[in-house]
């Protein structure tokens, strides 16, 4: 059934506004609607639904012709089986989804160590918005209830990925399923920062933290003084010194 581009856009706006965040420390306020931004963009890095022309209107018309809002969300954020060959949109048709994956040696090793099969790898995307406004579909890999990123790093779920990944910063925003390792069934989507924000300064400014900070500063001061004293001594014993 063909969906009107305007109707599909309106529904995606409503869906995006209904998506939860994980709390004020984990998500921006106000929360961006990454779904509608993806819908309106014609330049998404690593897009898996490419080939719809350079104008956003061409892309929107094509998506509306092949997908209902629910189908678009499911196609975009569901788990898929990785393939080796990139998508040929001219031969596959406008409703095709690119399932090709860059399975480098680090990723294959991580899949094997997680108990998965490096020859049959599952992937899913995170919709990322960078601080400059650019959008990207970032591929993550799923193996035996573990999440693996493009660097071959392994995580138990979304919280651990956000705390430990080196691919995203704390000002990147992502739209992902809350249960990253879940491959079947319903999965709630959340909008959160791509990396956990460091909470060290509030701790340092507490009563015990303030003392620790003072101790660190005193230690640095002592080291600087010792370095200066050593420099003065070497100057005084150098040949030709007065």
Q: In total, how many domains does the chain have?
A: 2
- For residues 181 and 225, membership in a common domain is answered with no
- The answer to whether the beta carbons of residues 175 and 127 sit under 8 Å apart is yes
When pLDDT is cut at 50, 70 and 90, the band that residue 175 belongs to is very high
When pLDDT is averaged across residues 65-82 and rounded to a whole number, the result is: 88
- For residues 166 and 205, membership in a common domain is answered with no
Residue 242 lies in a domain: no
- The answer to whether the beta carbons of residues 186 and 141 sit under 8 Å apart is no
Closest alpha carbon to 184 in 97, 95, 80, 82: 80
- The answer to whether the beta carbons of residues 111 and 141 sit under 8 Å apart is yes
Residue 93 lies in a domain: yes
- For residues 218 and 109, membership in a common domain is answered with no
pTM: 0.73
Q: Is the pLDDT of residue 241 over 50?
A: no
Residue 223 lies in a domain: yes
Greater confidence (71 vs 200) lies with 71
Q: What is the pLDDT of residue 208?
A: 54
Residue 221 lies in a domain: yes
Distance from chain centroid for Cα 84: 23
Domain that holds residue 205: 200-237
- For residues 114 and 224, membership in a common domain is answered with no
Q: pLDDT tens digits, residue range 161-173?
A: 999 999 999 999 9
DSSP H helical ranges for 122-237: 158-164, 200-204, 207-237
């Amino acid at each position: 059934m063909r969906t009107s581009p305007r109707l599909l856009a309106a529904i995606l706006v409503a869906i995006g506004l209904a998506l939860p965040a994980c709390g004020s420390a984990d998500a921006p306020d106000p929360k961006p609607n990454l779904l509608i931004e993806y819908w309106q963009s014609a330049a998404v890095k690593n897009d898996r639904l490419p080939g719809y022309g350079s104008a956003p209107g061409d892309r929107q018309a094509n998506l509306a012709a092949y997908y209902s809002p629910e189908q678009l969300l499911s196609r975009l954020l569901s788990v898929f089986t990785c393939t080796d060959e990139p998508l040929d949109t001219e031969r596959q048709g406008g409703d095709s989804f690119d399932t090709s994956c860059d399975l480098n040696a680090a990723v294959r090793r991580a899949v094997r160590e997680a108990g998965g099969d490096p020859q049959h790898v599952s992937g899913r995307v995170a919709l990322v918005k960078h601080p400059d406004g650019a959008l990207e579909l970032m591929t993550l890999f799923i193996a035996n209830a573990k999440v693996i990123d493009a660097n071959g790093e392994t995580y138990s779920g979304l919280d651990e990925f956000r705390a430990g990944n080196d691919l995203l910063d704390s000002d990147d925003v992502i739209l992902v399923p809350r249960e990253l390792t879940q491959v079947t069934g319903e999965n709630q989507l959340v909008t959160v920062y791509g990396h956990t924000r460091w909470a060290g300064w509030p701790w340092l400014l507490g009563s015990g933290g303030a003392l620790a900070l003072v101790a660190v500063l005193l230690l640095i001061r002592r080291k600087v003084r010792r370095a200066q004293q050593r420099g003065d001594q070497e100057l005084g014993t150098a040949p030709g010194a007065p």
